[in-house]
Amino acid sequence: MADADFVNVDLDWWDDLDPFASEITDPVEILIQDTFHMLIESPGSNADDPDRGLGIEDMLSGVANIPVAEAHIAEGLQRDPRIDLAVATITKTGDNAYHLHLDIEYDGHELGLDFTKDASGFARAGGA
């Protein structure tokens, strides 16, 4: 296969798939997907952008320093040129369980996102 046969696309992860496993095209949905990926990727794990990963599961494992984690998340997300402002609020909901709320400002719009972290892992609240 020639190099021209390859297409550079954002891949949908399991939490991001629609019922037909279609690639997303809506810019807001792409931003949401990219935000999720930035949160779950370990620092340095993305060869295309080694500064992208925030490693949320590691930050919220064991004894979590919530103020440091909130600042790290906000600063990391704001490195994305699409995001003008990010505010992270983490609430401990149980043993090794947390709720993360993000307020994101982008291109004159506001976006609120919620995530959960528990023994089963990190996921977008509501499952979508």
48 band by pLDDT with thresholds 50, 70 and 90: confident
Quote the pLDDT of residue 9: 43
DSSP H helices in the chain: 27-40, 56-59, 66-77
Mean pLDDT for the stretch of residues 47-66: 87
Provide the percentage of residues in the chain whose pLDDT is more than 90. Answer: 57
Quote the pLDDT of residue 21: 67
**CA 50 vs CA 32, 38, 43, 82: distances in Å:** 19, 11, 7, 18
126 band by pLDDT with thresholds 50, 70 and 90: low
* Residue 55 in domain: yes
Quote the pLDDT of residue 97: 94
* Residue 18 in domain: no
**CA 7 vs CA 4, 11, 46, 89: distances in Å:** 8, 11, 18, 37
Quote the pLDDT of residue 17: 60
Mean pLDDT for the stretch of residues 80-88: 97
Total Cβ atoms within 10 A of residue 19: 5
**CA 66 vs CA 3, 27, 62, 100, 124: distances in Å:** 45, 30, 12, 10, 19
Quote the pLDDT of residue 51: 82
What sign does the dihedral 26-2-45-123 (CA atoms) show? positive
Quote the pLDDT of residue 84: 97
* Residue 60 in domain: yes
Quote the pLDDT of residue 15: 53
For residue 80, the enclosing domain spans 25-124
Domain count, the chain: 1
Check which CATH number belongs to the domain holding 104 and give it: 3.10.450.40
* Residue 1 in domain: no
CB 123 within 8 A of CB 14: no
DSSP letter for 23, please.
P
Quote the pLDDT of residue 72: 95
